[in-house]
A and B are shown apart, each in its own frame.
Chain A
Amino acid sequence: MTELWQQILSGLGSGFIYASLALAICLVFQGTGAVNFAQGVMATASAYVAWTLVTRGMPFWLAFVLALVASFIVGALIERVFIRPVEGSSPLVMLTVTVALLIGLQAVVALIWGDDPQQLESPFGGGSVEVLGARLTAQQLGAAAVVLVTLLLAGAFFRFTTLGLRMRAAAQNPASARLLSIDVGRMLALGWGLAATVGAVAGVIFAPTLGVSPAMMDSSLLLALAAATLGGFESRVGAVVGGLVLGVAANLASRYVPGIGSDLQLVVPFAVIFLVLLLRPQGLFGRASSVRA
C-alpha cells in the first residue's frame, strides 16, 4: 500500500511538469489557434539559460527569475516574428510553423550549449520528507509547490485582472475585442510570452531531476499534448488536471503493468486518450459544441 502511495505521489510530481506545459499549450492554442509543438523546447532553452547563469555563480532564485523574464520576452518575440505572418491561417499552416520552430530551436539549443547533458543543483537541497509513509525528496516537493503556485497565479491572473480578461476577450472573439479597443495583436504576443513563462517555470524548476539536455522536454511535450487533448484544448483547468492524471497513470503503468517499463511509458497517455475520447470526444473538460457552416 505504501508503495502504491509512493508511486502515486511521484507520478503527481512528474504530472506537474506535464500540467504546466499543457497549460502553456492551451494558452497558445486559445490565443492563436496553434498547437505549439515548440513549447517543450522553449522550456528547454529557459532551463539552459538558468543553468548558464547558475554556473557563472549566480544564486538559483535570481537565475530562475531572469530565465523567466527572458522566456517571456522570447516567447512574445516568437509570436511577433514567426506567428504573426500566418495569423488566422489554416491549422495545418500553423502546425507546420510550430513544427519548424521545434526542429529549428532544438538544433539551435544543441549548437549553442552542446549535446552533453548538464547537471543543475537543486535549490531545495538533498533532504527528503516523509508524507503519510511515503518518502519524497525536497526537490520533488519544492518543485511541485512552485508549479502549483504558478498555476494558481495564472488562474487568478485570467480571472481577476483587467489584462487577463482582455487577453481572454482577444482570444475568444478578436473582432468584438477590437471594437472594445483591445489591441488584439499585443494580447496575442502577451499570451505567447505568458505561455513561454509558464513553460519556463517547469523547465527550470524540474531541471535538477530531468537533467539539462536538448532533449530533456521531448517526452514531457508529448505527455503535455496528450494532457491538453485529454482535458480539451479549450479548458485551462482541464489541461492541468489532464497533466496530473497522465503523470500518475504513466508512473503506475510503468511500475505495475508487465512489459511496459520506462521506455514504452509513452503508450500510456495515448491509451488513456483513446479510452477517454471514445466516451467523451470533446475531452474531459471540453464543451461539446455544434458546428455551423
Chain B
Amino acid sequence: MTGAPTRTVVEPPAEKGNEPTVSMSHALPPAPRVGLRTLSWGAALVVVLLLAALAPANVISDFQFFQLNRVITFAIAIGGLNLLLGWAGTISAGHGALFGIGAYTTAILVADHGVPWPIAALASLVVGLVVGALLGLPALRLGGMNLGLITLAIAMLLPPLLTRLDWLTGGPFGKTTPRVEAPEGLPFSSPQWLFLVNLVVLAVVFWLLANMLRGRMGRALDAAASSRVMAAAHAIPTNRITVAVFAVSAAVAALAGALFHLSTRTSTPDSFTFLLSISLIAGAVVGGSRSFVGAIIGAAFVVFVPESLGEFVEPAAAGQWQQVVYAAALLLVIYFFPRGLAGLVRQARNRLVRRRSIHARPQEAQS
C-alpha cells in the first residue's frame, strides 16, 4: 500500500473540488516530499514532547497536562471519526459510545482482572474493531447515511445498558482504576507520563491512518464517496471497504477511550452520553473532517470552549450554553468554511506560499 505509484496511476484528471491532498502531488514528486515532511514533523514533535514533559510544574501544571491529555485522546477519536466523515462519506452518531466501550473495556480489565494497562488498551482496540465490524455489517443494508441512524441507537443505548449491567460495569458508580505511574527512574508525574504516551499514540495512529488513506484505500474511498455505482463498476468492493473503514474507525475511537480512561481514572455511564458523540462530530466538522491537524484543532475546541464558557455563565446553564455554542459553531463552519478551520489554515498558508513560488496551483484557486 505505498502511496506514490498508485497515485500517478489512479489520479483522475484534476477535477473541480478535488481535495488539496490530491493536488499536492502536482507541485513536486510526491514520495521524498512526504518522507521529509513526516520526518520534520516527527522531529518537531519529539522536541516539543521533551521540552513540555521536562518543564517544571510551575510552567505546565499537572492539571494542565490532564487537560492536554483530554485534548489528545479526543483528537485521536476525532481522527478516527474523520475516516467516516471526510473519506467514507458516512457518519457515526455513536462514536461517543465506542469511545465509552473502549474506556470501560480498559477499566474493567485493569480494575477487576489486574491486566497491565498497555495490554488493556490494546484489548480496547480489538473490542472496538469487533464492535465496529458488527455494527457496520447490518448497516450496509441501509446504505450511506442510514448508518448514522444505527449508530445513533448505540449512542442512546449505551448509558442505560452500562447502568443495567452492574455486575460487569459497576452500575451508576462506574469503575475506578489506580493511577498510572511512570516507570521507575523516570522523573515524570503521572499526567506527564500519560501525556508522553498519548502523544506517541496520537502520532503513530495518525501516521498509520494517513498512510492508509494515501494509498489504494484512500483512492477507493474517494471514488466510492463520489459515486458508489461508478466505484463498484471499477471493481472497488464498496461494501467491504465501508465495513473495514467503519471497523478501523471504531477501533481508533475505542483506543482513544481507553487512553481517556487512564487519564480520568473513573468511568461512569454518564461520561459517555449522546452529547459526547455530538461533541466528537462537532470537533470533526469544526476542525475539518479531511485533516488530521483539524482533528487536533477540533479536539481543542471541544475541550476548551465549554470550559471557558463556564467562566461567563452561571454553572447551572453552562451545559446549555455549551450546546448553543456547538450548534452555532457547527452552522458557521458549514456555511462559511466547509473544510473546517484546518482548511482555513491551509488556505492561508497556500496564499503565502504561492507568492513565493512559481508553482501556482490552479485547483486551489477555485476553492
In the complex, per-residue mask of B89-115: 1 if CB is within 8 Å of any chain A CB, else 0: 111010000000000000000000000
| Pairwise interchain contact B320-A266, C-beta atoms closer than 8 A | no
Known: A35-B145, A95-B145. A108 touches B230 (CB 8 A): no
For the complex, what is the distance from the CA of A264 to the CA of B228, rounded to whole Å? 35
Known: A96-B330, A111-B317, A222-B152. A281 touches B164 (CB 8 A): no
Chain B: CB-nearest residue to A265: B160
Chain A: CB-nearest residue to B277: A99
Chain A: CB-nearest residue to B227: A293
| Pairwise interchain contact B320-A229, C-beta atoms closer than 8 A | no
Interface range for A:
35 or more
Q: Is A61 an interface residue (CB 8 A)?
A: no
Q: Which of A240-268 contact B (CB under 8 A)?
A: 263-264, 266-267
In the complex, per-residue mask of A205-232: 1 if CB is within 8 Å of any chain B CB, else 0: 0000000000000110010011001000
A-B pair count, CB < 8 Å, reads: 107
In the complex, per-residue mask of B5-42: 1 if CB is within 8 Å of any chain A CB, else 0: 00000000000000000000000000000000000000
Chain B: CB-nearest residue to A94: B145
Q: Is A162 an interface residue (CB 8 A)?
A: no
Residue in contact with B145 in the complex, picked from A91, A108, A274, A277, CB distance below 8 Å: A91
User: Could you say which of B116-124, B136-144, B204-212, B243-251 contacts chain A?
Assistant: B136-144
For the complex, what is the distance from the CA of A131 to the CA of B14, rounded to whole Å? 69
Q: Given the complex, which residues of B lie within 8 Å of A132, measured CB to CB?
A: none
Q: Is B3 an interface residue (CB 8 A)?
A: no
Q: Is B71 an interface residue (CB 8 A)?
A: no
For the complex, what is the distance from the CA of A93 to the CA of B284, rounded to whole Å? 13
**Number of residues of chain B lying within 8 A (CB) of chain A:** 47
Known: A103-B278, A111-B320. A91 touches B327 (CB 8 A): no
Q: Given the complex, which residues of A lie within 8 Å of B326, measured CB to CB?
A: 100, 103-104
| Pairwise interchain contact B321-A226, C-beta atoms closer than 8 A | no
Is chain B's interface secondary structure helix, strand, loop, or mixed overall? helix
| Pairwise interchain contact B141-A292, C-beta atoms closer than 8 A | no
Q: Is A278 an interface residue (CB 8 A)?
A: yes
Residue in contact with B278 in the complex, picked from A86, A99, A273, CB distance below 8 Å: A99
Residue in contact with A97 in the complex, picked from B89, B230, B331, CB distance below 8 Å: B331
| Pairwise interchain contact B233-A293, C-beta atoms closer than 8 A | yes
Q: Given the complex, which residues of A lie within 8 Å of B146, measured CB to CB?
A: 229
Chain A nearest CB: distance from B145 CB in Å?
5
| Pairwise interchain contact B157-A92, C-beta atoms closer than 8 A | no
For the complex, what is the distance from the CA of A167 to the CA of B239, rounded to whole Å? 35
| Pairwise interchain contact A104-B145, C-beta atoms closer than 8 A | no
Q: Given the complex, which residues of A lie within 8 Å of B145, measured CB to CB?
A: 35, 91-92, 95
| Pairwise interchain contact A277-B164, C-beta atoms closer than 8 A | no
6 sampled A-B residue pairs with Cβ under 8 A: A100-B331, A103-B327, A104-B331, A107-B324, A108-B320, A218-B156
Seen from chain A, the residues whose Cβ lies within 8 Å of a Cβ on chain B are: 35, 82, 85-86, 90-93, 95-97, 99-101, 103-108, 110-111, 218-219, 222, 225-226, 229, 263-264, 266-267, 269-270, 273-274, 277-278, 281, 291-293
